[in-house]
Amino acid sequence: MIIDLDLQMAQLEVKLLRAQFNSHFLFNNLNAINYCILQNDNQKASSYLTLFSRFLRRIAGHSQRDFVKLTDEIETLHQYVQIEKLRFARAIQLVVTVEPGIETDGVLVPSLILHSHIENMIWHNLDARADRGVLTLAVQKKSGKIHILLETNGASSETTDLRAKPGARESKLELTVKRLQLLNERHGTDLELRMTKKDAFRKIIGVDLSFSPFASQTLP
């Protein structure tokens, strides 16, 4: 049973990594760095390459672990947003708020759990106006559970429906939900991810990751 669960986790993690880091992401960023070099903007090219390599190194490290500190997960999101800002040359902002009393160094979350969703928001939901691209990440505690809410100020569109269409490959949301279910089975946690809508008029799309706090020493 444990072997089957480990195999399912390994197969699912491969699917998630493929979904999160497709060839377009790698090639587009490498092409953007090359463009900076061709434009003799060596300083920008160097900064871009340094940030990109650090991001990939962080991703490689986190992908080997089930859980990481929330502090590290937030830093990963900040790095990703910085990369997208350089590539698109637009003002994308990630605003993080943490409820007083919550120590992000003491909160564990599934590694890379929010990356695919912040990527989807930047590509499909973020306000296209250069000065209004704002993503918000709020860490709160409600009824004894930690809630991590990730939202965008962009309007909703058909592309925000992350459910897979008949015959289509599994969406990032579905893969993430399956991963959380397996983590819950393996570690006895109560991780849950759901879609949220902050404003019915603007149809702001967001995700809410909720779970009871747990410490690393409680994990098997």
The residue ranking higher by pLDDT, 59 or 9, is 59
Quick count: other Cβ atoms within 10 Å of Cβ 6?
12
The residue ranking higher by pLDDT, 40 or 155, is 40
Mean local confidence (pLDDT), 54-62? 87
Question: What digits encode the pLDDT tens for the residues 94-140?
Answer: 999 999 999 999 999 998 888 877 877 777 666 555 556 788 999 99
pLDDT band at 59 (very low <50, low <70, confident <90, very high): confident
Tokens of 144: 């004894």
The residue ranking higher by pLDDT, 216 or 99, is 99
Asked if pLDDT for residue 212 goes beyond 80, the answer is yes
pLDDT band at 204 (very low <50, low <70, confident <90, very high): very low
Tokens of 186: 């393996």
Asked if pLDDT for residue 211 goes beyond 80, the answer is yes
Question: What digits encode the pLDDT tens for the residues 161-194?
Answer: 444 444 444 566 777 888 888 889 888 899 998 8
Longest pairwise C-alpha distance within the chain:
57
Candidates 3.30.565.10, 3.40.50.280, 3.90.800.10, 3.40.1210.10; CATH matching 2-214? 3.30.565.10
DSSP symbols for 3-72: HHHHHHHHHHHHHHHHHHS-HHHHHHHHHHHHHHHHTT-HHHHHHHHHHHHHHHHHHHHHTT-SEEEHHH
Residue 153, pLDDT score: 73
pTM given for the model: 0.78
Q: List own/partner pairs for 160-167 with CB under 8 A and 24 or more apart.
A: 160/120, 160/124, 160/125, 160/205, 162/120, 162/195
The residue ranking higher by pLDDT, 145 or 205, is 145
Asked if pLDDT for residue 203 goes beyond 60, the answer is no
Mean local confidence (pLDDT), 136-145? 93
What is the C-alpha to C-alpha distance for residues 47 and 135, in angstroms, rounded to an integer? 23
Quick count: other Cβ atoms within 10 Å of Cβ 95?
11
Question: What digits encode the pLDDT tens for the residues 11-45?
Answer: 555 555 555 555 677 888 888 899 899 999 999 89
Tokens of 217: 């020493």
What is the C-alpha to C-alpha distance for residues 63 and 113, in angstroms, rounded to an integer? 10
Out of 60-64, 84-88, 138-142, the most confident range is 138-142
Q: List own/partner pairs for 173-178 with CB under 8 A and 24 or more apart.
A: 173/117, 175/12, 175/15, 175/16, 175/19, 176/16, 176/113, 176/116, 176/117, 178/12
Tokens of 141: 């505690």
Asked whether 39 and 48 are in contact (CB, 8 A), the reply is no
What is the C-alpha to C-alpha distance for residues 209 and 108, in angstroms, rounded to an integer? 12
The residue ranking higher by pLDDT, 144 or 131, is 144
